[in-house]
Amino acid sequence: MKPAVLLFPLLAALATVAGCTSQVDDIQVPDLSLPSDALPVGVFVGRTTFQSAPTEVVGTALIEPNGRMIVVGDQAEFLASGMYETVGSGINAKLRFHLPNLRGADGQPLKPVAAGDLIGTFLPKDSFTGTFVRDDGDAGSMNFVYDVQSETPAALPLLVGTWAMPDAFGDSAVSFTFVNGGGFSGLDANGCRYIDAEAFVIDPRYNLYRLNFSRSCVGDVNAVIFTGLMTIVERSSGGRTFKRMILTGSNGTAAVSFQLTGQN
CATH number of the structural domain spanning residue 68: 2.40.128
Asked whether residue 258 falls in the same domain as residue 142, the answer is: no
Note the pLDDT of residue 167.
Answer: 64
Query: What mean pLDDT comes out for the span 241-253?
Result: 93
Residue-by-residue DSSP string for 194-247: EEEEEEEES-TTSS-EEEEEEEE-TT-SSPEEEEEEEEEEEEEETTEEEEEEEE
Q: Quick one: pLDDT band at residue 170, thresholds 50, 70, 90? A: low
Mean pLDDT for the chain overall: 85
**How many residues in the chain?**
264
Nearest to 3 by CA among 132, 173, 149, 119: 119
Q: Is the pLDDT of residue 184 over 70?
A: yes
Query: What mean pLDDT comes out for the span 165-180?
Result: 79
Asked whether residue 30 falls in the same domain as residue 137, the answer is: yes
Note the pLDDT of residue 122.
Answer: 97
Task: Please say whether the dihedral angle defined by the alpha carbons of residues 110, 113, 118 and 122, taken in this order, is positive or negative.
Answer: positive
Asked whether residue 199 falls in the same domain as residue 185, the answer is: yes
User: Percentage of the chain surpassing pLDDT 90?
Assistant: 66
Query: What mean pLDDT comes out for the span 92-120?
Result: 85
Q: Is the pLDDT of residue 58 over 90?
A: yes
Q: Is the pLDDT of residue 199 over 50?
A: yes
Domain edge (last residue) among 149, 167, 189: 149
Note the pLDDT of residue 219.
Answer: 82
What type of residue is 133?
Answer: V
Note the pLDDT of residue 168.
Answer: 55
* More confident call, 14 vs 177: 177
Query: What mean pLDDT comes out for the span 208-231?
Result: 94
Q: Is the pLDDT of residue 188 over 50?
A: yes
Domain edge (last residue) among 105, 131, 149: 149
Note the pLDDT of residue 54.
Answer: 74
Any idea which of 22-26, 47-51, 107-111 has the lowest mean pLDDT? 22-26
Domain that holds residue 212: 151-262
Query: What mean pLDDT comes out for the span 242-246?
Result: 93
| Overall domain count for the chain | 2
Whether the Cβ atoms of residue 150 and residue 42 lie closer than 8 Å to each other = yes
Residue 12 CA: distances (Å) to CA of 30, 114, 133, 178, 255: 9, 19, 19, 37, 24
Count Cα neighbours of 82 within 13 Å in the Cβ-side half-sphere. 29
Note the pLDDT of residue 102.
Answer: 76
